[in-house]
Amino acid sequence: MSKHYLVGYDGSASADRAFAFAADQSRHDGGRIRVVSALQVTDAGADSCAAMMTDEGARQARDMLNALKNSASDLGSRMDTEVVYGSPGDVLLAQVAAHGIDHIVVGHSGRGVLARWLIGSVSDDILSRARVPVTVVR
């Protein structure tokens, strides 16, 4: 049975490993893979500065996803990518219903306890709220 995998991708080494895992699974079962980069915009003092940073961040994220897609050209039309604005956990969980996702794959940053407490953990957030299987790749 083919599945529809969702990978949260931020260009980190753990995200690369998560993508490789999902791509291998997709190749094995003929499933689809959707790779999403969440771009979280924070409030900034100057509106024009925030807009410029947002545009540049979106361009960089699109370039990163295009390079990833080119590296897995054998997946062809079974792979799609998107940059979505919002909190990474919320963005990825919204993708489940919107795109018929059956399995989420995310990397684990390996941050320490203090960093997780201060900024949170996307993988912990997804694990606690997801209604589909989740694989966290280290």
CB 122 within 8 A of CB 88: yes
For residue 85, pLDDT beyond 60: yes
The topology (CATH level 3) of 4-137 is Rossmann fold (3.40.50)
Percentages of the chain per state (helix, strand, coil), in multiples of 5: 55, 20, 25
More confident call, 121 vs 38: 38
Percent of the chain with pLDDT over 70: 81
> CA 12, CA 54: separation in Å to the nearest integer?
19
Torsion angles phi and psi, residue 40, rounded to 5: -90, 120
Closest CA to 72 of 34, 129, 111, 113: 34
Q: What is the pLDDT of residues 90-126, one digit of tens each?
A: 999 999 999 999 999 999 865 544 444 444 478 888 9
- Show me where the domains of the chain are located: 4-137
